[in-house]
Amino acid sequence: MSEAGDLKCWGGNSHGQLGIGNDTESRIAVQVVGVRNVSQISAGANFNCIVTEQANVQCWGSHLFGSLGDVYASDQLSPVHVRNVHSVQQLSAGTSHACVVTDAGTVLCWGHNLYGQLGHGVVSEVGPPTEVAGLRDVFQVSAGGIQTCALTHDRTVKC
């Protein structure tokens, strides 16, 4: 019997994206290692991220292009904390990048940035978790393949 907030994943696992501590695929739902009280999940191409009830972010799977944050040098087979990302209200993972909306209504993004999808104003292959400059009062963020858009509380869309 599962407890509230348990997280299960299934499918391909070549980069550890199931979060089960190995890279063996599973055709049935398996428990992600060490996570409880999950409030949100978002799946990228070969990585996943969650928001815990404590409003912190954990990610696992492929670290190609920095999709797990800025401190991991390789793929992670089980969830790891994304440093300097706290007080998260909403999360969205794109192909190889992720973004969150904080309690303060700001947006932080990290990962692949070849097309400027992190909103830092600088194009680079990889970017650490950094606040999107000039973006305030955000309600929701959506990370896509190579772009990101945000919805503000006054219903303005910015991409």
Kindly report, residue by residue over 13-40, the tens digit of the pLDDT: 999 999 999 999 999 999 999 998 899 9
Kindly report, residue by residue over 49-81, the tens digit of the pLDDT: 999 999 999 999 999 899 998 777 799 999 999
Share of the chain above pLDDT 90, in %: 84
Closest listed residue to residue 135, CA positions, set 152, 154, 118, 111: 152
Mean pLDDT confidence for 78-100: 96
CA torsion through residues 84, 146, 107, 77, sign: negative
Distance, CA of 15 to CA of 90 (rounded, Å): 25
Classify residue 125 by burial, with Cβ atoms within 10 Å: 0-12, 13-18, 19+: exposed
| Residue 3 pLDDT greater than 60, yes or no | no
pTM, rounded to two decimals: 0.94
Of residues 8 and 127, which shows the higher confidence score? 8
Q: What is the mean pLDDT of the chain?
A: 93
Beta bridge partners of 143: 148
Distance, CA of 111 to CA of 107 (rounded, Å): 14
